[in-house]
Structure 1
Amino acid sequence: MMKKKKFSIKDIPGWAVMLGIFGILYLTGLHTEAIGQVQRILLATGIKNADVPETLQHPDATAVVDAAAVATTEMAGAGFKMVDLQGKQVAFESLKGKVVFLNIWATWCPPCIAEMPNIQKLYEKVGSDNIAFVMLSVDEGGMEKVKKYIDKKGYTFPVYLPASQLPQEFQSNAIPTTFIISPEGKIVAKQEGMADYNTPEVVAFLQGMVKK
């Protein structure tokens, strides 16, 4: 008579174990963070560095922005309203005359979570009165959810939520999506999907556009 084989955890297929782990992470709400951590490792390899236009990677440091041209050119996103985490409404066009780093993200988006630490580092390097960061959350869970996440992570870059319909020029097929807008109000770079923005090329690109 054949002996009945005792069950062992080793008999569980690897795919079943992974499915179980993911199921637990999903039920506990930790799956976004876990996937984000994996994607953060991918960013660390350098293969997902942000692209910046070749013609603007090394702008002429002596160039002077025509103040009159800035005043008369309509800014991308004109008419768009945002609200910060303190509940203050801000007109997007109030940032005209500055270089704007606009990142559209959500707390449920793993690639958004993955790229944020490097965006924070970039902000610490170049954030100023001349370079404005707009971390625009499209979460539907309300301001408190976003504020709780930002506070938990200790991020200090400015975070906003839409207070009006997102302008057509900021529409994208993916998040995160990042736009860089010149002081004249023109979109000069757009990146769909996650990327590492904390690079010498991006730092030089942003600082090179600041009005002299």
Structure 2
Amino acid sequence: MENLKTWLKKNGFTTILTVLFIIILVNKDAKAWLMRQVASTGILNSSISEPKELRNASAKVTYAGFILKSEDGTLIDSSALQNKVVFINFWASWCPPCRAEFPSVQKLYDHYKSNPEMVFLTVNLDDNTALGKAYLKEKGFTVPFLVPAGNIPGTLYNGSLPTTVVLDKKGEIRLHHKGLADYSKSSFCTQIDELLKQKP
């Protein structure tokens, strides 16, 4: 027992760090918290880009066939979202980076949910949708719970979670970000405000 006390005195800091590391490895919410701290610095964020025609890109991307289903079974066809700024977030409840950025997605949603020119498509990709619903309920998130009702175009999502896409009023991709980001930053809201001011 005396040897253990002596060892702990000499290695207390290392022991604490090891325990914290194990908690972060095992606990999804602890991982998400740590990732959220990194995301809050803004170093992982990307910004909204110029429209394709200003970047000399060739063809316009179409989103026909990208259909989502809401919690009550209502089908949402993204082709009906023209003339609106569309924020799309692909996420899953088992994904620590998704959990890390979700509070910022909720804050962004709260800020713009009453704006008729802004639409949020938060698309859950859990194999068991009940897990996604339970996660939103447990955390008190009120973003729309949507699931794919068909194929997702590769131009929007290619398998990396989380993925966030912002479409302008013309349906152009203005942001395509794979990985964690903080969408509650005032600089991001300023960019969204600029898109909202533009005419379709």
- TM tier, shorter chain? 0.7 to 0.9
CA contact (8 A) 2:156 2:176 kept: no
**Aligned ranges for residues 95-106 of structure 1 at < 5 Å?**
95-106=81-92
| 8 Å Cα contact 2:90-2:162 kept in structure 1 | yes
Instruction: Report if the CA contact (8 A) 1:82-1:163 is conserved.
Output: yes
Show the counterpart of 1:94.
80
The 8 Å contact of residues 121 and 198 in structure 1, kept in 2 or not, is answered as yes
Large movers: runs of 4+ above 6 Å: none
Which residue identity lines up with residue 158 of structure 2 in the other structure? S
CA distance in 1, matches of 2:92, 2:77: 21
- Structure 1 or 2, whichever has the larger Rg, is 1
CA deviation string 1:72-107 (max 9, x = no partner): x98632111111122222212221221100111110
Partner of 1:46: 42
* Aligned positions of 1:9-48 closer than 5 A: 10=8, 14=15, 17=19, 21=23, 25=26, 31-48=27-44
Distance 1:116 1:16 in 2: 27
TM-score normalised over the length of structure 1? 0.74
Residue 50 of structure 1, CA deviation: 3.4
Is the 2:42–2:181 contact (alpha carbons within 8 Å) kept by the matching residues of 1? Answer: no
Which whole-Å deviations, capped at 9, do the CAs of 1:35-80 have from their partners, x for residues lacking one?
0011111122232333222x47xxxxxxxxxxxxxxxx98632111
Q: For 2:38 and 2:102, how far apart are their aligned partners in 1?
A: 13
2:181 to 173, 183, 195: 195
Unaligned segments of structure 1, at least 5 residues:
26-30, 57-72
* TM-score normalized with structure 2 length: 0.78
Equivalent of 1:209, from 191, 195, 198? 195
Tell me the distance in 2 between the aligned counterparts of 1:16 and 1:131: 45
Q: 1:203 to 1:32 in 2, by over 3 A?
A: same
Structure 2 gaps of 5+ residues are: 52-58
Q: Percent identity?
A: 29
Q: Distance in 2 between matches of 1:150 and 1:174?
A: 20
| 130-139 vs 36-45, which moves further | 36-45
Deviation at 1:199, TM superposition (A): 2.2
Partner of 1:68: none
Give the drift of 1:122.
1.3
Between 82-91 and 8-17, the greater mean CA deviation after superposition: 8-17
1:135-184 per-residue CA deviation (whole Å, 9 max, x = no partner) reads: 11111012x22111111212122221111111121233521111111111
- Structure 1 residue 148 and structure 2 residue 134: aligned? yes
| Local SS of the residue matching 1:52 | coil
Superposed, 1:87-126 pairs within 5 Å as 87-126=73-112
In the TM superposition, what is the alpha-carbon distance from 1:7 to its structure 2 partner? Answer: 5.5
Q: 2:120 aligns with which of 114, 118, 133?
A: 133
**Deviating more after overlay: 101-110 vs 85-94:** 85-94
